[in-house]
Structure 1
C-alpha cells in the first residue's frame, strides 16, 4: 500500500501505513514521502521522512466532513505527528466518492 513511486519505504512511512491500516481498514492507501521537496526548509529533518502526503479511502469516512476525516487520520498518527512527522497532507475519501 506504500506509494509505488517509492521503491523501498522508510520506517516512518511503513509505520504510517501500519497505523492507518489498523485504525481505518482503508480500501486504498498511498503514503508519499515528500521530505526531499522540503530540504533546507523549516521543519526539515536531516534523517529524512519528515513530510508526508497520505491518500486514504475508507468506509470510516462515510458521512463525515473533511475536518472530521482529517481528525480521524491525525488521531491514528498522533504519536508520530508529535515526535517525528513535521508535516502531513491528507486526502481522505469514502469509497465511491
Structure 2
C-alpha cells in the first residue's frame, strides 16, 4: 500500500466519523502535480467526492468547511490541496 493509499484510508475513517456517508470517492491526484512547490512538502493533492445527508440546507462554502473540519488533522501535512464535490443524497439522485 502506498503512502497516499494509507492516507486515503485515514481520511475515509475521519470523514465517516463526521458524516453518514452514502457515497465516497477519494482520488490521489498527486502525480499530476509533481514538481509543484506544495508537492515538495510531502502533502498530496486529492479529489474528494462525497454524498451525505448532513449537507442538506448547507451552501457549498459550509459544506467545504465541514469537510475541512473533519480532515483538519491532515492539513497541511498530508493534504496540500483538496478538490471537493459535496452533495446531499437527493442532489446525487440516491
TM-score under structure 2 length normalisation: 0.86
Query: What is the number of residues matched between the two proteins?
Result: 88
Specify the alignment match of 2:67 in structure 1: 73
Q: Report matched runs for 1:37-76 at 5 Å.
A: 37-45=32-40, 50-76=44-70
Alpha-carbon distance in 2 for matches of 1:82, 1:40: 17
Q: Report matched runs for 1:1-97 at 5 Å.
A: 10-45=5-40, 50-97=44-91
TM-score under structure 1 length normalisation: 0.83
Cα deviation, residue 46, structure 1: 7.5
Unaligned runs of 5+ in 2: none
| Higher RCO (Cα < 8 Å, 6 or more apart) | 2
Q: 1:18-39 CA distances to partner (integer Å, 9 max, x unpaired)? A: 1111111210000110000000
Unaligned runs of 5+ in 1: 1-8
Higher helix share: 2
